[in-house]
Structure 1
Amino acid sequence: MQTASTNIGERLCNKSIRDISWLLNIPRSTVSGIITKWKQLGTTVTQPPSGRPRHMIERGQRMLKRTVHRSHQLSAESIAKDLQTWCGLQMSPTTVRRELHGMGFYGRAAASKPSITKCNAKRWMPWCKARRH
């Protein structure tokens, strides 16, 4: 496979993007992207990701997942304290919630269901019988 420097070299020889794409057998959008990057940054090397690094590393995520699987009823505050004592990871409950949401865990409460008294049961029986037939 051809390198980006070949792509830039072709461009410096006054070749069109379409010609470079045909010569190197790569899509025109790729050629255009490389040339744009070279014009803006002066390099075609991949830049490091921008933004703040993630607070929780992979090991911490595994510990968090294990903790949640053990007990689904724990609050984010108690999970944050557990992680601090077990792993030495110091993080806020908000970070714990964010990581759990990223893993697909969301807090869900069971729907409250009315208690069925004898009176309610008698009242519902005809409806249940009519529905079964």
Structure 2
Amino acid sequence: LGRDKDIEEIISSHLKGLGYKKISKIFNILRDTIGSIISKFKTYGTAANLPGRGRKPTISSRALSNLVRTAKKTPRVTTRQLQDDLMKAGTSASVATIRRALNKEGLHGRTQGRSWGPRCRLYLWALFEIV
């Protein structure tokens, strides 16, 4: 049996009037676990995982959509600049968090663009002078 089926069976056997020890022996699960499942059922009316578990996101969905829009509009913007924009909006998040969020949205490589080096500039100058 799967976990959900087990929990349903545990609750139904409790409602039938079986004690914790008997339920524990039937399902080969610790008595404390049986007790916690049943107490959760009594408290919330269900033994399913309740919403709101886990860490809350630091960047709201609205702020994330603003970041994505800004990053798509100006592809050369750096994550540090995006962080400053986010701070002005009232949300604080690290550069790594912003980069991770943008990567999930399919945007990669928020680094400052490199300027032309002296060697490359010389090459380009020579190329265009010849033509």
> Normalising by the residue count of structure 2, what TM-score does the alignment of the two structures yield?
0.51
Q: Distance in 2 between matches of 1:108 and 1:88?
A: 21
Deviations 1:15-70 (A, max 9, x none): xxxxxxxxxxxxxxxxx9xxxxx725332142345432110111111111111111
Q: Distance in 1 between matches of 2:90 and 2:110?
A: 28
Partner of 2:68: 65
Percent identity between the two aligned chains: 22
Q: 1:71 to 1:6 in 2, by over 3 A?
A: closer
Cα RMSD (Å) of the superposition? 3.6
Q: What secondary structure, in the 3-state scheme, does the structure 2 residue paired with 1:73 have?
A: coil
Q: 1:7 to 1:93 in 2, by over 3 A?
A: same
Structure with the greater relative contact order (CA < 8 A, sep ≥ 6): 1 or 2? 2
Q: 1:8 to 1:103 in 2, by over 3 A?
A: same
Superposed, 1:96-107 pairs within 5 Å as: 96-107=98-109
Q: 1:52 to 1:41 in 2, by over 3 A?
A: same
Q: 1:104 to 1:6 in 2, by over 3 A?
A: closer
Q: What secondary structure, in the 3-state scheme, does the structure 1 residue paired with 2:100 have?
A: helix
Deviation at 1:11, TM superposition (A): 2.6
Instruction: Structure 2: state its 5+ residue gaps.
Output: 1-6, 18-26, 28-32, 41-46, 114-119
Instruction: Structure 1: state its 5+ residue gaps.
Output: 15-31, 33-37, 119-133
| Structure 2 letter corresponding to 1:93 | V
Q: What secondary structure, in the 3-state scheme, does the structure 1 residue paired with 2:64 have?
A: helix
**Aligned residues of 2:99 and 2:110 also touching (Cα < 8 A):** no
Length, aligned pairs only: 90
Partner of 2:49: 46
Q: 1:108 to 1:76 in 2, by over 3 A?
A: closer
